[in-house]
Structure 1
Amino acid sequence: MAAVTHEVRRIIAVDFDDCLCQSHWPECGPPIWTTINAVKAEQAKGSAIILWTCRNGKALQDAIEWCRQYGIEFDAVNEQIPEQLALYASVPGVFDPDPRKIHASEYWDDRAVRMPKSSTGSDEKHILKKIHCKRILCKKIIRHKRRRSR
């Protein structure tokens, strides 16, 4: 089968809680300016931005409105951008016309761990150390939030 080639602009899927704003679930917390400014800079370069979040219903609508207040409009929310859907439809039988996984060039998420493309032992040790540190940090955040809510 021949490789499928396509020209699609850069696509960035951005998480909301603890990425665009400090999490105060279900409310929207204070902005994280570093991410907001990076999103705006990418939009100015022509990148497509997808809001990629577990929020739904009112919490999702609140997040979208919160982003608008900070000057961020999305090309899609929890779904493929139209160009990607058109690409999938252009190759019948090869791609699901609307797969569950959001296609992106990059995924910006506070809980992401970058996985290497090689499989050397040193990479494995580095990954396991990063995952262990993330788990410790998540546990500390949860404990802090519990103490704060009392």
Structure 2
Amino acid sequence: MIIAVDFDGTIVEHRYPEIGKEIPFATETLKLLIAEKHKLILWTVREGELLDNALDWCHEHGIEFYAVNQDYPEEKKVDKGFSRKLKADLFIDDRNLGGLPHWGIIYRMIHENRAYEPFVAQRQSYAAKKSWLERCFGIGRNRYHR
């Protein structure tokens, strides 16, 4: 698959124009996807020096993208009328509807070719098994009920 990946808020915490701390398991997951022959495109609003900084950070963490802000590495940018809309199979971005799932779930969705809904249903099923106190306050049954 061709997968477009945002940088700020997706790979690292939001600290734009600075670079935030890595979001847990982001780089490990991206490396697994690259090893599985997926083509990753860095898709970010960053340009110029800010983009170079993000690319350097990714390189230092072992992530090399197939392309950056374009469909393929050899694509020629045209100033007038150029659209940065990518032709990707999947977009990983913290600004999508529902927010950014945990990187472990993202990997399983891609690796197992599964939709997000079963993961949400599984989480809701687990939450439904908890008591009201557990769901609201994290207080376990065994703590007060013997």
TM-score range, shorter chain: 0.5 to 0.7
* CA apart distance, 1:65: 0.3
Q: SS where residue 107 of structure 1 aligns?
A: strand
Structure 1 stretches lacking a partner, 5+ long? 1-9, 86-97, 115-150
Please, which of 44, 61, 71 is the counterpart of residue 53 of structure 1?
A: 44
Q: 1:102 aligns with which of 72, 79, 86?
A: 86
Residues 49-79 of structure 1: per-residue CA shift (max 9 Å, x gap): 0000001111110000000111001110000
- Aligned counterparts, 1:114-129, within 5 A: none
| Further displaced range: 60-69 or 32-41 | 32-41
Question: How many residues were matched structurally?
Answer: 92
- Residue of structure 2 in register with 1:111 after alignment: 95
8 Å CA contact 2:41, 2:66 repeated in 1: yes
Q: Among residues 12, 20, 24, which one is paired with 1:29 in the alignment?
A: 20
Give yes or no for the alignment of 1:75 onto 2:76: no
For structure 2, the 5+ residue unaligned runs are 76-81, 99-146
Letter in 2 for 1:14: V
- 1:94-137 CA-to-partner distances (Å, cap 9, x unmatched) read xxxx86411111100001127xxxxxxxxxxxxxxxxxxxxxxx
Q: Which structure dedicates a bigger proportion of its chain to strand?
A: 1
AA aligned opposite 2:57: W
Instruction: Tell me the TM-score normalised to structure 1 length.
Output: 0.57
Task: Please state which structure has a larger fraction of its residues in helix.
Answer: 1
SS in 1 for 2:19: strand
SS state at 2:4 partner: strand
With normalisation by structure 2, the TM-score equals: 0.58
**Could you tell me the percent identity over the aligned residues?**
41
